[in-house]
Amino acid sequence: MDLTLSLAPMEGITGYVFRNAHHKFFGGSSQVRYYTPFVVCTFTKRIKTREKQDVLPEHNEGIPLVPQLLSNKAEEFLYTARSMAEFGYREVNLNLGCPVATVTAKKKGSGFLTVPDELDRFLCAIYEGAEKIPVTREDGSTGPLAISIKTRLGFSDVAEAPRLFAIYEQYPVKDLIIHARTRAEQYAGQPELGVFFEILSSSRLPITYNGNVFTKEDADGILARSQGKLSGIMIGRGLVEDPALCREIRGGPPATKEELSAFHRALYEGYLAQYAGFHGQSSGDLVVINRMKEVWSHLGLLFADNGHYLKAIHKAATRPAYEAAVRCLFDNCALVPRTPGIREASSSKA
């Protein structure tokens, strides 16, 4: 299958510890591409320590990774983009999809979609600036830093889409990743498939689909309607809920409990190493347990649990309690298939 499958950035979950564990057990053989949770471009031109740690090459060895940047100021974006190029990255991704109110209120993320004229000027400046940021391609040649975009269909309504996508078409977008919802829709309901496929059919750009892919059937349905024009599928929640989903989409087997147990162990031990000595051992342990609980809020859907075992995981406050609760879940709960997330919604606009 000549299709790029990628893990969407999810703040608090898909950092370098998660990426390393996933790539080791499920991503490498499935050729999964990864995107970092967004790096904030600031007027101080300094990258936060936590965000820098996440993008450092030594924390992402062997992982096909694209740093995602959040900005609405071209100068700030280009400074951070140049830093990413100096780390060895050949591409950066512009976040125009984040729906969080504290982000959108600053006209960043999907909030930038509310001012299309400003967005147009910004894109003109960053693509022009990227021509002056040289990177070494895989074949050894030199070229400009590539910029991909992750966007939604609009802020308040899909009626905004024609104006926004006419802007994108003017630029050399490496990959246009479309979350097929507006910001107002957040992550609820069905994706706006009619609008998405209308854009796909007329665009000259490489386009990746994002939104509600939870099963192989979801991906197969999107691919069947794309008529070979789709360049990729990006999966967020679905790939955290079912880490083997990309393998299944490529025709491989589903995850086994043994694989999931080994994946969990690598993830847990990775977080323990990351937060060792964090304000004392007990504080570090609690941070790790809370990180794992975020993962279990998704991964737990893969287990036939009657409410008892996952509840014990989420109540755990110490490492022994957490580890015992996880052992009980693996010992007593069978794996269940996920429910497809995409259907043709009657409200989708064509």
Percent of the chain with pLDDT over 90: 90
* Average pLDDT over the chain, rounded to an integer: 94
- Scan for tokens 């490496």, then name that residue: 174
Which pLDDT belongs to residue 280? Answer: 56
* pLDDT the model gives residue 349: 37
Predicted confidence (pLDDT) at residue 345 exceeds the cutoff of 60: no
Structure tokens at 192: 């706006």
> Is residue 347 scored above 70 in pLDDT?
no
Does residue 13 carry a pLDDT above 90?
A: yes
Q: Where are the domains of the chain?
A: 4-249, 257-332
Predicted confidence at residue 281, as pLDDT, reads 58
Of 214, 283, 267, 244, nearest to 15 by C-alpha is: 267
Does the pLDDT at position 120 exceed 50?
yes
pLDDT of 350 higher than 50:
no
pLDDT (tens digit per residue) in 149-205? 999 999 999 999 999 999 999 999 999 999 999 999 999 999 999 999 999 999 999
Name residue, tokens 């599928």. Answer: 233
**Statement: residue 309 has pLDDT above 50:** yes
Q: How confident is the model at residue 137 (pLDDT cuts 50, 70, 90)?
A: confident
Averaged pLDDT for residues 83-108:
97
Q: Which fold has domain 4-249?
A: TIM Barrel (3.20.20)
- Encode 146-165: b = buried (16+ Cβ within 10 Å), e = exposed: bbbbbbbbbbeebebbeebb
Residue 54 has pLDDT above 50, yes or no: yes
Range with the poorest average pLDDT among 3-12, 82-91, 113-122, 276-285? 276-285
Of 52-56, 222-226, 278-282, give the lowest mean pLDDT range: 278-282
The residue to which tokens 């926004």 are assigned: 164
CA angle 64, 66, 71 (to 5 degrees): 175
The span from the CA of 37 to the CA of 187, in Å, is 17
Segment 13-20 mean pLDDT: 98
Q: pTM for this structure? A: 0.94
